[in-house]
Structure 1
Amino acid sequence: MNANTTTDTGAAGSLRFAVLLATWMQSANLPLPNAVLRLIQGSLSMTDDQAGWIFTAYLAASAITLPIAQWLAARFGLKRVYQAALALFMLGLVLATVSTTPLEFIGARIIQGLAAGVLGPLSMGIALETLAPEKRMKFGVTLTAAVLLGIATGPAIGGWIAEHFDWRPIFYISLPLSAYIFMVIALLLAEKKADKAPTYDFFGFTSFTVAMISLQMLLDRGERMNWFDSPEIWIEALACGLGLYLFFVHVMTRNVHFFNKSLLRDRNYVLSTLIFFAIGFVLLSTMALTSPMLDEILGYPPDTTGALTLPRGAGMVGAFLLTMRLPERFDRRLFVAIGVALVIYANWLMLGYSPLMDWPPVAIAGALQGFGIGMSMAALAKVAFSTLAPALRPEATGLYNLLRAYGSTLGVAIVQIYFFNNTQAMHQALGANITPYRGAASMSLPALEGINHLVTHQAAFIAVIDQFKILMVAMLVVSPLVLFLRKPAATN
């Protein structure tokens, strides 16, 4: 970027607005189909286990390109790579709207995710270079808030559009936004490229990525393929094990790689990253469970289903901004503890959901969970990086966000597995009580179908509650780590 970008207030402001919009857009498109899963499944003849891929495909794809975004910009040019990512994102949007099979739709989501993994970090890079150093931290908070706002508003936007039109137009809203961002970048962003080709640890990156993607495919495909009775699952398990083995050997035997061993020596960073991983595990998994529960089991329309994610989002964004604005004299460890406790309590409230409930319990539990997540994220951002050397912070930030992304994608996959298993088990347990001696023998076929439908809904609802228990346990497991955090130092 040219040096005069920071002095040209109008151009710099337009660039910041454009990348802020891109940050919101790529974040909102992740949960955008959440409130309309039933419509998508019916239109594309998509099975229940395939519905989980709508989220995991986007997340896993973005986790592939996220670590190499800065290298791509340095190697091929920031402007060129950013515009290519926008074009790829628009292609994914168009392909999603014209999909006629589950495979086509999942492929479109993968394309969107690959582009989103590049847009996120490069948007931050473009924005920060248009600002004076003393203003960068404040705008970084704004960018993170835009990510949270996207996650919060995506389902509500998708639900409202689908209720009044159809599910396919939910992706149209991002096409003019992408075109506007593309135009602003083309007109105002000067090309920036490294003087010489940068180096990158592709062996470490590839081995780690192969391991995580193989694990993701194993979890996503395991139920459908009957687990280790399938050669495919064995191949994915072996690829995951081999990838992890090569990655850890590489890290322990090489001095230069994309994962800096020095980060492991900082206790606050390691513990904060583990807690952040658990927050990622809960963040999207709750949404992936709540919206189908409201839409498919309780019969709420898509616009209401989407709107009930807004209290959670409002709590999340509000708590994040409030906690980031707290004076330095307040110990952030206390707010990490309060945030984690709120998330646990909110998930405990979710265990009390009932098929007879109205919407307030969902709104209250969602708002409390969102407030806890937002508070924890803001406080952890301070705790994690305050004890790190400034030279390590850019690399640490990338790894920190990458593990949150993997936490989300693995969380969605795991709750989907247990949901289907528990639904089948509960269906068998409930159905076993329907015997000829309880009147079933004298019922007509439509009546028996109605009973089976009722049993299926009851089993699915119980299975959803069981998954909220898994999310609560995940936060309980990491909660003791808060006690071992050191008091943050003043940020440099």
Structure 2
Amino acid sequence: MSTTPVTSSAATEKAPDAAGGLDRKVLLVAGVVVLGAIMSILDVTVVSVAQNTFQNEFGTDAAGAAWTMTGYTLALAAVIPLSSWAVARFGARNVYLTSLVLFTIGSALCAMASSIGMLVAFRVIQGLGGGLLMPVGMMILTKAAGPERVGSVMAVLGIPMLLGPIAGPILGGLLIETASWHWVFLINVPVGIIAFIYSWIILRDKEETSRPSIDIIGLLLLSPGLAAFLYGISTSAEEGTFIAAKVLIPAAIGLVLILAFIAHALRSKSPLLDLRLFGNKTLSISVVSMTLFMIAFFGASLLYPQYFIGIRGESTLAAGLLLAPQGLGAMLTMPIAGRLTDKMGPGKFVLGGLVLIVAGVGTFTFLGADSSYWLLCGALFVQGLGMGMTMMPIMSAALATLKSEQVPDGSTLVNVVQQTASSIGTAIISVLLASNLAAHAESKLAIASNAAPEEYDKLVAAGQAPAEVPTQWLDWGASAFAGAFVVSAVLIAVTFVPAFFLPRKRVAGAESAPVMMH
């Protein structure tokens, strides 16, 4: 494979054909990236299901068990900013293979942990590998396909991103109920070995590497800044408020470090992350749209299983199955939207998708303790249709206008924003839900004759309904969820504003950019 610059007219002539589909070589590379993404994304949601199990197995409380999630997230935040530099220094293939090894070894170690402290430490090792899988995989796939087919490859990459939150609870519940918590991690080992061998065979193209000097100042500002900020934000879910010292102090320190990095990066000739990419209007609009969308999407994703488990008394496995219509809807529209985005631009699809998502989430703003499952599953299906038309077209718009040498920084930037926005969304909705439930505390005490006042609080926390819970308590609980869904729906509606300015015609890379010739 060679990279040959073409003129503007040549690029224009080739683009429609290239955008028509993905050839065999690109699909093989896509398989490599999707395998890595599946491991990384599924692991987050699978482990979230095992939180109560960790408490029982290791004799810890909810805060201690939550560190199995927090430690992984902080490792991701620390390592993602390094991905662009690491690819330039060592090559995308070598970095990707190393990431697979780290993630697989970390998974095996997690399964052998004998204390909560060991498990958290091994989760950090997992996170160091998992944090590089998505941004580096995105670089590999974008380079293989070329700017004309970014929409199509993003649709392929979007499958694990959208299905992870749905398949994770199903897989986690199944493994814990039929085997043991160890298999939550052990399942990654054979998949990791297969992914490594497959990647070793497929990723054979020679890469040009350089010896760029690492931006030490930028690294010392951005990595700990992101980690501290996300730690503070994540802690808010545990504290039930944003104004606790445990939340504000690390979040403020992280924000100061991030702002200092921004000032440094705009002055530096070779920053760790090139923020001058925001001079690209399409990229800037896409990042703003993606930030709002991710906050709303990940916030709402947190609520669905909690409602089915806490209010309706379903098992973890049943809750995961009830979420399946969302994934089915996304699978229907995502491939179509990906291919047509390459030809028609992302704007029309994103706006149409947002309409469907608002309609789907809007249904959950009227939740009751006995809402029809047919109605709710239908709403999830409609929402899934919208997801397939929204998330990946936004991401493809962010990358499609970049030159080939800008893709590593662009991919890193997209992943930093995605990780930060998802953590913010989860925190906002968690705190809002806790606040809504607490608002009913006095009313609960007034009718506590049939059950202890604490029973209702255990309803959501323990993931199962008590034997005797007054129907009115469940109605209030459903109302608390409905109020949180209102915020998610509003955030999605606000996304219409930046999304309105996304391109509504084909977005090709810079016209003078090289086109991959096979």
Residue-by-residue CA offset, 1:408-445 (whole Å, 9 max, x unaligned): 1221122222222332232x23224338xxxx4xx7xx
CA distance in 2, matches of 1:33, 1:143: 22
Q: 1:355 to 1:258 in 2, by over 3 A?
A: same
What count of residue pairs does the alignment treat as equivalent? 478
C-alpha displacement of 1:178 = 0.8
Query: TM-score if structure 2 supplies the norm length?
Result: 0.78
Q: CA deviation at 1:124?
A: 4.3
Counterpart AA for 2:444: G
Structure 2 residue 339 is the aligned partner of structure 1 residue 325: yes
The farther-off stretch of 403-412 and 76-85 is 76-85
CA distance in 1, matches of 2:316, 2:474: 18
Please name the residue that 1:82 is paired with: 96
Find the aligned partners of 2:408 and 2:453 in 1 and give their Cα distance. 61
Q: One-letter code of the match for 1:276?
A: M
Q: Which has the higher contact order (CA 8 A, sep 6+)?
A: 2
Residue in 2 aligned with 1:338? 352
Kept in 1, the 8 Å contact 2:343–2:505? The answer is no
Hey, what's the Cα distance between the residues in 1 that align with 2:388 and 2:55? 32
Q: Provide closer, same or farther for how the CA distance between residues 430 and 344 of structure 1 changes in structure 2, counting only shifts above 3 A.
A: same
Residue 375 of structure 1, CA deviation: 0.5
Which residue of 2 is the match for residue 429 of structure 1? 442
**Aligned ranges for residues 303-382 of structure 1 at < 5 Å?**
303-326=317-340, 330=344, 332-382=346-396
Q: 1:29 to 1:431 in 2, by over 3 A?
A: same
- The letter of the residue matching 1:169 is W
Deviations 1:72-117 (A, max 9, x none): 2443455554343223212332343344655544444433222112
1:279 alignment partner, one of 293, 301, 307: 293
Q: Deviations over 1:229-258 (max 9, x none)?
A: 976556414412421331232134334424
| Structure 1 segment 124-143 matched on structure 2, within 5 A | 124-126=138-140, 138-139=152-153, 141-143=155-157
- Seen in structure 2, the aligned counterparts of structure 1 residues 319 and 46 have a Cα distance that, compared at 3 Å, is farther
Does the 8 A contact of 1:34 with 1:288 survive in 2? no
Residue deviations 1:323-373 (CA, integer Å, cap 9, x gap): 112276645322211112222222211112222235333322222222212
Closer/same/farther in 2, CA of residues 450 and 464 from structure 1, 3 Å limit: closer
2:85 is matched with which residue: 64, 71, 95? 71
* Selected match of 2:267 from 253, 272, 280: 253
Structure-2 residue corresponding to 1:475: 492
Q: Distance in 2 between matches of 1:122 and 1:41?
A: 34
User: Which residue is 2:10 aligned to?
Assistant: none
CA drift of 1:276 comes to: 0.7
Contact 2:79–2:131, Cα closer than 8 Å, also in 1: yes
Is 1:175 equivalent to 2:189 in the alignment? yes
Q: Which amino acid aligns with 1:263?
A: L
Q: CA deviation at 1:286?
A: 2.3
- Is 1:398 aligned with 2:412? yes
Q: Hey, what's the Cα distance between the residues in 2 that align with 1:45 and 1:60?
A: 24
The within-5 A match list for 1:408-447 is 408-426=422-440, 428-434=441-447, 440=449
Per-residue Cα deviation, 1:444-478 (whole angstroms, up to 9, x for no partner):
xx777768863776654443332222212222233
Moved more, 461-470 or 218-227: 218-227
**2:168 aligns to what?**
154
Task: Return 5+ residue gaps in structure 2 as ranges.
Answer: 4-22, 458-465, 510-518
- Is the deviation greater in 152-161 or in 72-81? 72-81
Q: What whole-Å deviation, never above 9, does each CA across 1:273-321 have from its counterpart, x for those lacking one?
A: 1111122213333222221222233221222112122211222232221
